[in-house]
Copies of this chain bind each other. A is one copy, B any other.
């Protein structure tokens, strides 16, 4: 023992975060009919180095020297690894604009994730459906989550109620939480939280633009010709 299991866990975090991106890229490549894919090609298009690509991919499959990787097989392996069965049913709390957008989002299907139901404190929304998914009053959150055996909760409510909702989800048996409210959630050991702060990301982007600007001043600047500066 200690093999299969700990091999899986040995994957470094940064590598793990790149795996879905490889998957997206390779799916597109597969659709374009490219049967083989070399690490050099991936590296070029994804702005990585080919060594890094090979090292990442070595965790989940192996390629053929002189030929590269079989595109479809690689897609399959990545899909298999990333979805690893079970733990793919989620409930969503907060059927406001963001919540509705998430309920309607088709992209989750790419990873075999399903949002089973939504909850909202606005009673007027109860018994309605969004994109075919039922909305329930938030009072039923814990009991229904448990009944549905959802292991994932998505929080799309205002910051003030986020912790409360989080507690209810945990009590309902959720083991992972995707949190769109910009607050730190306190959860018991064994529950994983992933924070999604879009505003913060946008702020960091705006920030890096300024750095770029200073960079330009101190050299570099290739490829970018455009009238005066």
Using a CB–CB cutoff of 8 Å, the interface residues on chain A facing chain B are 5, 8-9, 16-17, 20-21, 24-25, 28, 45-47, 82-84, 86-88, 90, 96-98, 100-102, 104-105, 107-108, 110-111, 113, 151-152, 154, 159, 173, 175-178, 182-184, 188-190, 192, 194-214, 216, 218, 220-224, 226
Contact = CB atoms under 8 A, between A and B. Distances in A.
Contact of A183 (B28, B86, B90, B108): B28
A214 B20 contact: no
A113 B207 CA distance: 11
A137 B80 CA distance: 41
A210 to B, nearest CB: 5
Contacts of A202: 90, 108, 111, 113, 152, 154, 178, 194
Nearest to A2: B218
B190 A178 contact: no
A223 B188 contact: yes
Given A87-B209, A97-B104, A176-B209, A20 B204 contact: yes
Contacts of A28: 159, 183
Contacts of A101: 96-98, 100-101
A45 B86 contact: no
A203 B107 contact: no
Which 6 interchain pairs have the tightest Cβ spacing? A20-B200, A111-B203, A107-B199, A97-B101, A101-B101, A189-B223
Contacts of A105: 97-98, 198-199
Given A182-B110, A199-B107, A223-B189, A84 B210 contact: yes
A202 B110 CA distance: 11
A59 B72 CA distance: 47
Contact of A21 (B175, B177, B190, B200): B200
A199 B110 CA distance: 8
Contacts of A198: 102, 105, 107, 196
A43 to B, nearest CB: 12
A190 B116 CA distance: 42
Contacts of A206: 83, 87-88, 111, 113, 151-152, 176
